[in-house]
Chain A
Amino acid sequence: MAYLLRKIRKNRWYKTEELTWLPENELQADALDDLRTKSNELSVFHIDQDTSNLNRVVAALAISFDDPSNFDFALLNEETMSEMGIKWKRSPGALSDKEVNNWHSDLYELSDSRLLELARTIKTKAIIERRDYAEVLNIVATSLGDGYIDRSKIRWKKRDLEDLDALIASQSN
Chain B
Amino acid sequence: MRSQDSDSSTDLASNLFRRVPINARTVNSYGENIESSTVESSTSQLLATQATSIFINAKEEIFEDGMESEFSRNLSGFIVSYGQLAMEAVIDLFLSNSVNTEVASEALRILGRLRHRATYRERLWLLERCLLYSPFARVRDGALLGLSFANDKLAIHPLKSAIEKESVLELRHDMERVLTHLEGTNKDGIPTKKDSKE
Give the 5 A-B CB pairs with smallest separation, nearest first.
Answer: A170-B189, A65-B66, A69-B66, A11-B141, A134-B181
A70/B145 contact (C-beta < 8 A), A16-B137, A65-B66, A65-B67 known: yes
Is there contact, CB below 8 Å, between A166 and B190?
yes
Is there contact, CB below 8 Å, between B138 and A14?
yes
Q: Which of A16, A62, A166 contacts B189, CB < 8 Å? A: A166
Given contacts A30-B102, A159-B194, 18 further A-B contacts (CB under 8 A): A14-B137, A16-B168, A36-B62, A62-B66, A65-B67, A66-B67, A67-B66, A67-B67, A70-B65, A130-B177, A132-B145, A132-B148, A132-B181, A134-B181, A135-B177, A137-B188, A167-B190, A171-B189
A residues contacting B by CB (< 8 A) are 7, 9-12, 14, 16-18, 30, 33, 36, 62, 65-72, 128, 130, 132-135, 137-138, 159, 163, 166-167, 169-171
Query: Which residues of A are found within 8 Å of B142, using beta-carbon distances?
Result: 11
Q: Does B30 make an interface contact (CB < 8 A)?
A: no
**B186 and chain A: residue at smallest CB distance:** A170
B residues contacting A by CB (< 8 A) are 62-68, 102, 105, 109, 113, 115, 135-138, 141-142, 145, 148-149, 151, 167-168, 170-171, 174, 177-178, 181, 188-191, 194
Q: Which of A33, A128, A135, A170 contacts B170, CB < 8 Å? A: A128
Is there contact, CB below 8 Å, between B188 and A132?
no
Is there contact, CB below 8 Å, between B190 and A66?
no
